[in-house]
Structure 1
Amino acid sequence: MSNNTTSTSSIVSKVWAFCNTLRDDGVGYGDYLEQLTYLLFLKMADEYNKPPYNRTMPIPAAYSWETLTNKSGDALEVHYNNLLRELAKEKGILGQIFTKSQNKITDPAKLYKLIALINAEQWVLMGVKDKGDIYEGLLEKNAEDTKSGAGQYFTPRALIKCMVECLRPEPMKTIADPACGTGGFFLASYDFITDENNYTLDQEQKKFLKYDTFFGNEIVAGTRRLALMNLFLHNIGDIDSDHVMISPNDSLIAASETRYDYVLANPPFGKKSSMTFTNEEGEQEKEELTYNRQDFWVTTSNKQLNFVQHIKSMLKTTGLAAVVLPDNVLFEGGAGETVRKKLLETTDLHTILRLPTGIFYANGVKANVLFWDGKPSSKDPWTKEVWIYDYRTNIHHTLKKNPLKLDDLKDFIECYNPTNRHKRKETFSEDPSTGSGPEGRWRKFTYDEIIARDKTSLDITWLKDKSLADLDNLPDPDVLALDIVENLEAGLESFKAIIAALNVKDN
């Protein structure tokens, strides 16, 4: 093992060990991650300030890294609190990183130790992958901490890699995510493009990848901060740049001024768009949000349907999209039916991957990945056939005992045939002696077959649920129990939506 690898693994173990120390004081992964983000940013800016880089950093001298390393006790705590407040007022990435920042480490001795831990390393020199792995590991742990609610911003990395492998993003093209969370789709795309097995990049392509490839939106300040730091640690963007790749704006409010080559996204779960305000009695109230956009096919408060319409509008006519969406988008009537029909007509909606439950940190989610290609306007529908891969029926995953791995999706990637998706072969057949027969998970449906379905539903299943027929081979009790919980939670979400709809009608 090389010294570099040894030192990296020892840094990882130190970062984790300190996290556990702080957890005993009630500082959760999310709070630890935030403090680590502020301090790492300042330390790396300090390294860039010095030889061999000698770059002028935007950090005022009064709040430089060195002002933290020469203080301790109460003086350190007071200075750190003041530093966080003042840096939030700066412009560019610096201000975005420190927006709404707070010190969550109440023990100055622990803060002093964390600063010493970070100060002991040269972070800029450390390999991009190593820094990225440390940070991604913390993000995943944070997502697992269900109390923090961070799971809703974290898409399983195996699923993200699968989606990227299907789209095969190319150098010198733009990649957008209108609800980018901690930046998982950007990092997987970056890894794919920089993989020497895929491309050999020249200087111009490397520069474009660093500065001009990625564009995102994230309205939650803490999540946006983590995404910016995640990109920065992976060598995307610059510490002293005024150009911020991730906007704090709600992407649904207005049409995108730019069209993109790729859109990869997992828009937030939860049916309704809403805004919270304080009423005259001082109580918090929620109000449904509808987006009145001229470029939308239909006006609705259903958040996912709005994201589908928005992503369609963001995509170049030669662009490719892969989007994680809950089941209601596939079968819901009214606005849902309108959006499905329009999507089938105006884009080539060619592939749906049905996902199993038990893979998301947010419970009760039944989701799918929709893949479509942007197209110019045409009088005839662009979608000719929709290929569906059922990776849900008779599949059981749990986050702890059987988490989703990239290998689980290898068969889907092969069926998708990313190098030429126009040459595909069904594994499903009515004839039991052909392919996988009726058990085949990969099946195509023509445009006419789908349009003839009730409400143009894309919620299509054909495999038999074996747990209903084979009592001897039931899954483990904990898997069954989780399935029941998932179904109950999904059912509750549907009931809430019905009640909300009835209330709107009454009003």
Structure 2
Amino acid sequence: MITGEIKNKIDSIWDDFFSAGMSEYLTVIEQFSYLMFIHSLDEVENETEQYEKMSGEKKEHIFPEDKQKYRWHIFKTFEENELFNLMNKEIFPFIKKINANEESAFARYMKDAAFSIPSPQTLKAVITKLDELFENPEVQTRDMLGDIYEYVLSKMNSSGQVGMFRTPKQIRDMMVQLIRPQPMDTICDPACGTAGFLISSAEFIRDTYGNKMGDKEWEHYSKGLLTGF
């Protein structure tokens, strides 16, 4: 459950959106989600860089050398107008094209994504507060990010527009342990929400079978194991 400082920070971000005239709940949640996704891209890139340093093995990167300014930890320091122009004209078009040459769900669903934050001041305020939120030690867990997303969705629920709540992690993990999925299974969640069941399934397979899996199993784990709608 979201309480205290984290709740106040999310409420403050929400107020920034509404003060800028963004009164549609779905639009606010959409923009909130895009920014969370952009932040997660930088986290994945950091993990890739750390892996390369430790292993000496080269991996595929999200951000080319000439696109490093699109990374959260870099652009968050930009002044308002520069940040706004970069987000609107470069970063958003860039994230829409990730995996665009593949038949992926991401490519299909991001095709019509639009940047809708109306002013440089609002964008800067939201990114600054989101950054403070992500730096909070409590937030630096996967399940806490799910809690944050659920709390944001609950704001729509309180307005009578949606009813959507996440299954608690301990319940998801118990159900997955009862099913005991196998490395070569195909797992589908037709109403996946924030994908908690898929995450728990992937974690179970990795933790249970990871040291026994060969190249074929890891290839399936990366590309064919999980599907969510």
Find the counterpart in structure 1 of residue 70 from structure 2.
64
Find the counterpart in structure 2 of residue 215 from structure 1.
226
Distance (Å, rounded) in 2 between the aligned partners of 1:86 and 1:112: 18
Per the TM alignment, residue 76 of structure 1 is displaced from its structure 2 partner at its CA by: 0.9
Q: Does 1:102 align with 2:111?
A: no
Find the counterpart in structure 2 of residue 79 from structure 1.
86
State the percentage of identical aligned residues. 16
CA 162–32 in structure 1, closer or farther in 2 if over 3 Å, else same? same
Find the counterpart in structure 2 of residue 204 from structure 1.
213
Distance (Å, rounded) in 2 between the aligned partners of 1:148 and 1:49: 44
Distance (Å, rounded) in 1 between the aligned partners of 2:134 and 2:151: 24
Q: 1:360-413 CA distances to partner (integer Å, 9 max, x unpaired)?
A: xxxxxxxxxxxxxxxxxxxxxxxxxxxxxxxxxxxxxxxxxxxxxxxxxxxxxx
Q: Does 1:175 align with 2:193?
A: no
Distance (Å, rounded) in 2 between the aligned partners of 1:44 and 1:148: 36
Q: Quick check: which has more Rg, 1 or 2?
A: 1
Alignment of 1:314-353 (within 5 A): none
Q: 1:206-260 CA distances to partner (integer Å, 9 max, x unpaired)?
A: 8367415533243xxxxxxxxxxxxxxxxxxxxxxxxxxxxxxxxxxxxxxxxxx
Find the counterpart in structure 2 of residue 132 from structure 1.
142
Find the counterpart in structure 2 of residue 453 from structure 1.
none
Find the counterpart in structure 2 of residue 144 from structure 1.
154
Q: Which amino acid aligns with 1:24?
A: D
Find the counterpart in structure 2 of residue 52 from structure 1.
53
Find the counterpart in structure 1 of residue 15 from structure 2.
24
Find the counterpart in structure 2 of residue 90 from structure 1.
98
Q: Which structure's residues are more often strand, by fraction? A: 1
Per the TM alignment, residue 111 of structure 1 is displaced from its structure 2 partner at its CA by: 3.8
Q: Is the 8 A contact 1:179 1:217 kept in 2?
A: yes
CA 96–118 in structure 1, closer or farther in 2 if over 3 Å, else same? farther
Per the TM alignment, residue 32 of structure 1 is displaced from its structure 2 partner at its CA by: 2.9
Q: Which amino acid aligns with 1:64?
A: Y
Q: 1:422-468 CA distances to partner (integer Å, 9 max, x unpaired)?
A: xxxxxxxxxxxxxxxxxxxxxxxxxxxxxxxxxxxxxxxxxxxxxxx
Q: Does 1:41 align with 2:41?
A: yes
Distance (Å, rounded) in 2 between the aligned partners of 1:159 and 1:87: 33
Q: Which amino acid aligns with 2:9?
A: F
Alignment of 1:400-479 (within 5 A): none
Q: Which amino acid aligns with 1:110?
A: A
SS of equivalent residue, structure 2 residue 226: strand
CA 116–141 in structure 1, closer or farther in 2 if over 3 Å, else same? closer
CA 90–213 in structure 1, closer or farther in 2 if over 3 Å, else same? closer
Pick the aligned partner of 1:187 from 193, 199, 210: 199
Per the TM alignment, residue 114 of structure 1 is displaced from its structure 2 partner at its CA by: 4.0
CA 55–188 in structure 1, closer or farther in 2 if over 3 Å, else same? closer
Q: Is the 8 A contact 1:77 1:108 kept in 2?
A: yes
Q: Is the 8 A contact 2:84 2:123 kept in 1?
A: yes
- Count residues with an aligned counterpart: 197
Q: Which runs of 5+ in 2 are unaligned?
A: 19-24
Q: Is the 8 A contact 1:174 1:212 kept in 2?
A: no
Distance (Å, rounded) in 2 between the aligned partners of 1:19 and 1:171: 38
Q: Is the 8 A contact 2:184 2:220 kept in 1?
A: yes
Q: Does 1:113 align with 2:128?
A: yes
Q: Is the 8 A contact 1:186 1:214 kept in 2?
A: no
Q: Which amino acid aligns with 1:169?
A: P
Alignment of 1:380-419 (within 5 A): none
Distance (Å, rounded) in 2 between the aligned partners of 1:119 and 1:52: 24
Per the TM alignment, residue 22 of structure 1 is displaced from its structure 2 partner at its CA by: 0.7
Per the TM alignment, residue 151 of structure 1 is displaced from its structure 2 partner at its CA by: 3.6
Q: Which amino acid aligns with 1:59?
A: F
Per the TM alignment, residue 187 of structure 1 is displaced from its structure 2 partner at its CA by: 1.9
Q: Which structure's residues are more often helix, by fraction? A: 2
Distance (Å, rounded) in 2 between the aligned partners of 1:159 and 1:47: 29
Q: RMSD over aligned Cα, in angstroms?
A: 4.1
Distance (Å, rounded) in 2 between the aligned partners of 1:73 and 1:138: 26
Q: Which runs of 5+ in 1 are unaligned?
A: 1-11, 219-507
Q: Is the 8 A contact 1:174 1:214 kept in 2?
A: yes
Distance (Å, rounded) in 1 between the aligned partners of 2:123 and 2:153: 27
Normalising by structure 1, we get a TM-score of 0.32
Q: Is the 8 A contact 2:41 2:62 kept in 1?
A: no
SS of equivalent residue, structure 2 residue 53: coil
Per the TM alignment, residue 75 of structure 1 is displaced from its structure 2 partner at its CA by: 1.6
Q: Which amino acid aligns with 1:57?
A: H
Per the TM alignment, residue 112 of structure 1 is displaced from its structure 2 partner at its CA by: 4.7
Distance (Å, rounded) in 2 between the aligned partners of 1:32 and 1:194: 30
Per the TM alignment, residue 177 of structure 1 is displaced from its structure 2 partner at its CA by: 2.5
Pick the aligned partner of 1:164 from 146, 151, 176: 176
